[in-house]
Amino acid sequence: MTKETIFSKIIRREIPADVLYQDNLVTAFRDINPKAPSHILIVTNMLIPTVNDLTADHEAALGRLFTVAAKIAQQEGIDEDGYRLIVNCNRHGGQEVYHLHMHLLGGRPLGPLVA
């Protein structure tokens, strides 16, 4: 099992990132390869590789992913027009970094899917 990811280093501020929010459960920062005008990653501070690895002990962090997403959407000015939240799981689901994270995308009409 992975013990370290690039997100772990961002959480610890060992590598630079445009961090928008951080508390004891989650960290949010801008994606370095944005797919929309607002593209923010919200990651659990605890390394949880995939959705399949979740337990009831993680529920507080999961709830925080969503409350932070709503807060950042408002700060970005995309809450009124709408935005998309995406969580990918494993290879077929498009997961590239095996550290649980949510994509917050908005700032333009996104259509049925983001490619």
Q: Are 37 and 73 in contact (CB under 8 A)?
A: no
User: Residue 113 burial by CB count (10 A; 0-12/13-18/19+): exposed, middle or buried?
Assistant: exposed
Q: At 65, list the tokens.
A: 């992913």
Length of the chain: 115
Strand partners, 86: 103
Element (H, E) at 74: helix 59-76
101 is catalytic: yes
Element (H, E) at 67: helix 59-76
Residues classed as catalytic: 101
